[in-house]
Amino acid sequence: MKIFLCFTELHFSYQKQGVYVEQLKRWLQHYRRDQLLVLDSALLFENPADCYAKVLDFLDLPPYEPNSFPVLYQGIYKDTMHPETRERLLQYYRPHNEKLAHLLQNPLQQEPIAHPKRP
């Protein structure tokens, strides 16, 4: 059975863009694993200073601590996600996220934060 997807489905699907393991595999075809730094955005929102320090260390730059880490362009949602939608997305992404954690040799936060804590 052949499945034909339209251009929009292939190139602009938010759900498919969230399958990070496939994107990372493509990067790893061109770069060694030690040349890539992958950070969990949930950890970035929870502790931006720690993530920033990891980036500086990865780039072999001297430590530097800015006075603050302002949040720019924070999304504002008037409605919360329907529980059924949330569960469907969790089920969809779970196997992909498990593959990503295996590829990174690092367990990921399995349940995403609904609205990351931001200052």
Q: Which residues of the chain have pLDDT under 70?
A: 1-12, 107-119
Instruction: Assess if residue 68 is contained within a domain.
Output: yes
Q: Is the residue at 111 inside a domain?
A: no
pLDDT for 99 = 93
pLDDT at position 76 is: 81
13/117 Cα distance (integer angstroms):
26
Q: Is residue 25 part of a domain?
A: yes
**Within a domain: residue 22?**
yes
Res 11: pLDDT: 58
Determine the structural domain holding residue 83 and report its residue range: 16-104
In a domain, 38, yes or no: yes
Residue 28, in any domain of the structure: yes
What span, in angstroms and rounded, lies between the C-alpha atoms of 54 and 19? 24
Tokens coding 58: 């990865």
Q: Is residue 110 part of a domain?
A: no
Q: Provide the domain count of the chain.
A: 1
Q: What is the pLDDT of residue 116?
A: 46
- Measured from the Cβ of residue 56, the count of other Cβ atoms closer than 10 Å reads 14
